[in-house]
A and B are shown apart, each in its own frame.
Chain A
Amino acid sequence: MTEKRQIPIQLPVLARVEGEGTLELHVRNGAIEDLRLRIFEPPRMFEKLLEGRDYTEVPDMVARICGICPVAYQMSAVHAIENLFGVQPGPWVRDMRRVFYCGEWIQSHSLHIHMLAAPDFLGFASITEMARQHADEVRRGLRLQALGNEIIRLLGARSVHPVGARLGGFHHAPARAQVDALREKLQAALPDAEALVRWTAALNLPTEEQEFTVVSLRHPREYPMNEGRLVSSRGLDISADRFESQFVEHQEAHSTALHCLHDGKPYLVGPLARLNLNLDRLPAPVRNLADSLGIQFPSRNMYHSIVARALEIVVAMREAIRLLGAYAEPSETYISVTPRAGTGYGCTEAPRGLLWHRYDVDAAGVVRGARIVPPTSQNQARIEEDLRQSLRALGVRQGDAALRRRGEMVIRNYDPCISCATHFLDLRVRELTRA
């Protein structure tokens, strides 16, 4: 007998996730027969919108893809196009781009930990419910998030869809006094961030371990953000321009977001993937903090993602403090760029994981083709794999409410940005035979 149970998790019920999706579960004889994370948010066609636009417009256009991680979109775009044009913007721009990215990691991770993930692990439906019993922790989270936003504003003029970045550098350099004031705030808040790490590690997280491949950037010296080679836990080590030879996107009928596979299999990107592959790139104080938590990294427990996020907040705060401490106002905030025809590739670490861009540009600097592979597309198959294993472990004979709760918790743990992932439209034109 077939028992078909569909668990509808639809807006506004799929709460605390960016975008619109549904989880469908089909059960036969007590076993999961089919499971689909349906993403039905309309395709946004950003790649098509970029075609025909001048290269100078790209950073501001791609920033509009996401209100949470606009810096990541800008950084992958400028690196891709600068790689094509053969541009090296120099150390000031490099450092400030890293600071800019630190701001985004701090705000995005703080938001996810406190508003989206932690209520799951503490048994609350929302941050507001959680705040009734954990007011100090929520205040701390909001303070950290605000600091991340302040860093983005410092270089981007505003924290949502910032406008400060451009090809070759930034439009504007902040004044030294402004930088010093923010650096002092970051220094004062560092104990908050370290306490947050210990708080997340002390949460009563599920202990289930899973087998999965992790993929992230890896840099010769730094914890990766803007630069590095693509590496995996299975020995992959390639440059960004070879991404398409190893990672293949395909469309599933049930989703407007593409699924991306590595060697035909799901894989994980994001904070836990980065941490698992870059433990030796953590600044020493952060490594010591990680080692003191009683958690064995690299970890196969997906729920350690919340701890990885908190550790990355500390990484970002320490990096921002270090780089802003050496700040000097530059004579030029950007270098001039001359267009060159060809294809450029860029890959950076968005808060949610790898964000890969490719641009085909003509000799006049007009974009002729664009391809953007966001982290949620890359994690989508892994999320479905995790759901199958987690719901099987929970027991599908549990009631719908329990399955829904666990399913939502699994999905939220990846911090998916469904709005980012729905770029694609499979347009099929059927030609009619003329009479």
Chain B
Amino acid sequence: MPDRVHIIGVGSPFGDDRLGWVAAESLQRSPVLNGLEPGRVVISILDRPGAMLLALWDEADHVILIDGVRSGAVPGTRHRFTASDVTGASIPATSHGFGIAAALELAQVLENLPDWLLLRGIEMDAGYTGFTLSAAVIAAMPVFVREIEEETLSLVGATHLFRSKTASESSFFAR
């Protein structure tokens, strides 16, 4: 059976904490991902699932989690961690109580990690509040979404579908 990818955007409606939702919504509109065989790529948008993350990836070979990150880096910095990076003690914290790091650590203990798991995030602007994203995260979003799209295509063996760099990333990131 061909590999399946589950992309999970995690967040809440507030400020940069919604960046996981915005990225996942952008990927849901991706023409190349939508052109793949049904079921190869599943995209979910979740509000702080906590330990329930473990119940989500049973069917997937590869999981990409998208969330806001607070690590002290410059706002807008794009992050990429593997499961082993995230389950360590000194990882950048996400904004949620029982966050992704705790869920992954629990999954590791319960031997329930997917075969391959990636955490993608953007450094949030700690000083920003509102119902849209901060300027730094907005600026980082098009490239961030493209990177996840291309990594997803690689995982399902469809690199020939990489979009041309001339495609309008600003229109791709419509919201």
Contact = CB atoms under 8 A, between A and B. Distances in A.
Give the top 10 A-B pairs by smallest Cβ distance, nearest first.
Answer: A146-B55, A131-B109, A160-B47, A128-B106, A128-B105, A135-B110, A132-B109, A131-B110, A128-B109, A142-B54
Contacts of A111: 51
A114 to B, nearest CB: 8
Interface string A127-167: 11001100100110011011001000000000011000000
Interface of A: 67, 111, 115, 126-128, 131-132, 135, 138-139, 142-143, 145-146, 149, 160-161
28 contacts: A67-B47, A111-B51, A115-B50, A115-B51, A115-B98, A127-B51, A127-B106, A128-B106, A128-B109, A131-B109, A132-B109, A135-B109, A135-B110, A135-B111, A138-B106, A138-B110, A139-B112, A142-B52, A142-B54, A142-B55, A146-B52, A146-B55, A149-B52, A160-B46, A160-B47, A160-B48, A160-B49, A161-B47
A139 B109 CA distance: 11
Contacts of B55: 142-143, 146
A128 B48 CA distance: 18
B54 to A, nearest CB: 6
A145 B46 CA distance: 16
Nearest to A114: B51
Interface of B: 46-52, 54-55, 98, 102, 105-106, 109-112
B115 to A, nearest CB: 19
A119 to B, nearest CB: 12
Contacts of A149: 52
B106 A131 contact: yes
B50 to A, nearest CB: 8
Most B CB within 10 A of own CB, among A67, A128, A138: A128
Contacts of A135: 109-111
B53 to A, nearest CB: 10
A126 B55 CA distance: 19
